[in-house]
Structure 1
Amino acid sequence: MAATLSPARARRRPAARVWRDRLPGIVMGGPAVLVFLAMFIVPMFLAFVLSLTDWNGYSLNFTFIGFDNYAEAFRNPRTVDAAVFTAVVAFCGTVLCNAVGLFIAALIAGNGRANTLLRTIFFYPYIISSLIIGFLWSAMLAPEGAVNGLLGHLGVGPVPFLTEVGFAKASVILTIVWSSFGFNMILFLAGIKSVPTEYYEAATVDGASKWQQFRNVTLPLIAPVFTVNLVLTLVGLLKVYDIVLALTDGGPAGSTQTIVYQILRDSFGQSELGFGAAQSVILLIVTAVLGLAVTFARRGAEKKVAD
């Protein structure tokens, strides 16, 4: 007579089998989880703890001051001004990078050596170090730089690209766009290339013009690429500081300081790491909220297009 398993033992056997099946995934994914915890979760927790102190970065003595640093971040006019300029850079840069990237991608999406060469040329600024780009354009836009020298030959007086507030802000934004739109262009190119040619053939048969094909066929089908481009560009521009550092060093009169530039200046230049950590936590929260908001908004738009 065959032995029968007790109910408790019968339940244990499937559970053991489940864990045995999951073990390879746990072993494979474990190192990635540990790296994520060590490189993101733990530093984020430590930054939050640090933001509750008045630590100067050098002394071993510090005092817990609660949320005073957070209150100071919203009261400090330098931080507020840097946050406002960062918002302007993020909004204008996101719009311009995607608009220019999409426009150029549509123009050079065809096959041919000329288009291949143009893709390389337009993408090249993106792979150059942002610091190098900042120093390059700083030399070109200086009062005695190449651009003003050329304008002088044309009979136009020197333009204060980096010494007048309005021009300096525009110079920072346009330099960022010039250095970044190549990434957006490549993603849009990939999206355009993935559209089946049958749709264009059907639209041609129906008498649709090139613009109508682009508006009614290409744009709806590359909607997911728009979402990726918008989120990546927005998040990246909220953290920009290296081009600002090399191009204007935050000037004139601190008008082009971004929030990350301000955080680094407060943390290390002013020895206020607690205050800088509080600003970093606020920036992290704002970035996460904006990124999620744009993602969900775009997902809704994609569903409407699909319907």
Structure 2
Amino acid sequence: MADTVTTAPGAALRASSAPRSKSSLAWRARLPGLIMGAPAVLVFLAMFIVPMILAFVLSFTDWNGYSLNLNFIGFENYLHAFTNPRTVDAAIFTVVLAFFGTIFCNLVGLALAVLISGPGRSNTVMRTVFFYPYIISALIIGFLWSAMLAPNGVVNSLLGQVGVPVLPFLTDVTFAKASVILTIVWSHFGFNMVLFLAGIKSVPAEYYEAATVDGATPWQQFRNVTFPLIAPVLTVNLVLTLVGLLKAYDVVLALTDGGPAGSTQTIVYQVLKSSFANADLGFGAAQSVILLIATAVLGLTVTLARRGAEKKVTD
């Protein structure tokens, strides 16, 4: 009986310490990962979460960017954003730019990826040539095309040699909008092409061999083999391109400076120009919050829509 009394507390102590030792071992195993991930988390908080919270707070004030006095004005900035004609026009052009730019970037990128996906030195050279515009600064691209599309630029000089009159690429509203969209597409489709190339290269060669044995044409192979298997890549391309074009402003700044008559101003361009020029950072913060919410909603909508399309294609 004495032995039972003396050994029972020791057994209970060992039983209670076992979970503690397991939990401590689990924390020790996680500690290196937490330490390595902490800098990235801190940078994310400092560069994204904190500015987003500050922008949301400032959007309800009339802060001018200099004074430390913040006057709370409620939803006045948001009401002004939805009723200001320039902001509305900039929002409409941003939507048009994002819509057509996303379509053209992915169409051109996918077409080129299919054409130059095969082996060979020439295809390797073409991949480099088509991807090169993407790594050039957007401001440089804007200034370059501004010089080329000027009334006495290279493009009009070449068109003049075949009898075409001078075209107002940068001075007419319709031409200017088209010039901005096409310039952005030219500078961006290389990124889409590379992602599509990666997706095409990941398709097992056995699928193409089986399709060839069955007598499938190249178009049938693309429609029934390649396209269904790169559907996730298309989703990524659509979302990344859409989000990127909704934030476009640098090409606009260098190419048209928002003209003519403000017809090519985007939301981000409008935010930067009106906010700092008019010392109205509260209004700019409200526009930024609206753009952030719209971008998140559109990106999530496209992602969910594409997920459903992917299931239909693969089923």
Asked if TM exceeds 0.5, the reply is yes
Deviations 1:240-280 (A, max 9, x none): 00000000000000000000000001111111100001000
Distance in 2 separating the partners of 1:22 and 1:195: 36
Q: CA deviation at 1:13?
A: 4.0
TM-score by length of 1: 0.96
Counterpart of 1:187 in structure 2 is: 195
Distance in 2 separating the partners of 1:131 and 1:13: 58
Q: Structure 1 counterpart of 2:222, which letter?
A: F
Moved more, 96-105 or 293-302: 293-302
Counterpart of 1:4 in structure 2 is: 11
- Pairing 1:1-80 to 2, within 5 Å after superposition: 2=7, 3-5=10-12, 9=17, 11-80=19-88
1:239 aligns with 2:239: no
1:162 aligns with 2:170: yes
1:103 aligns with 2:111: yes
Q: Structure 2 counterpart of 1:4, which letter?
A: A
1:281 aligns with 2:286: no
Counterpart of 1:112 in structure 2 is: 120
Q: CA deviation at 1:23?
A: 2.1
Structure 2: state its 5+ residue gaps. Answer: none
Deviations 1:10-42 (A, max 9, x none): 554443333333222222222221111111111
Q: CA deviation at 1:48?
A: 0.8
Counterpart of 2:220 in structure 1 is: 212
1:125 aligns with 2:133: yes
Counterpart of 2:236 in structure 1 is: 228
Q: CA deviation at 1:222?
A: 0.5
Distance in 1 separating the partners of 2:253 and 2:199: 34
Deviations 1:171-225 (A, max 9, x none): 0000000010000011111111111111011001111001000110000010111
Percent identity among equivalent residues? Answer: 76
- Deviating beyond 4 angstroms after TM superposition, the runs of 4 or more aligned structure 1 residues are 6-11
Distance in 2 separating the partners of 1:5 and 1:277: 61
Q: Secondary structure at the match of 1:208?
A: coil
Q: Secondary structure at the match of 1:91?
A: helix
Structure 1: state its 5+ residue gaps. Answer: none
Q: Secondary structure at the match of 1:4?
A: helix
Counterpart of 1:201 in structure 2 is: 209
Q: Secondary structure at the match of 2:12?
A: coil
Moved more, 19-28 or 61-70: 19-28
Distance in 2 separating the partners of 1:96 and 1:22: 45
The structure with the larger Rg is: 2
1:151 aligns with 2:159: yes
Deviations 1:72-126 (A, max 9, x none): 1111111010000000000000000000000011111111111111111111111
Q: Structure 1 counterpart of 2:64, which letter?
A: N
Q: CA deviation at 1:145?
A: 1.1
Distance in 1 separating the partners of 2:297 and 2:146: 34
RMSD over equivalenced CA pairs, Å:
1.4
Moved more, 24-33 or 76-85: 24-33
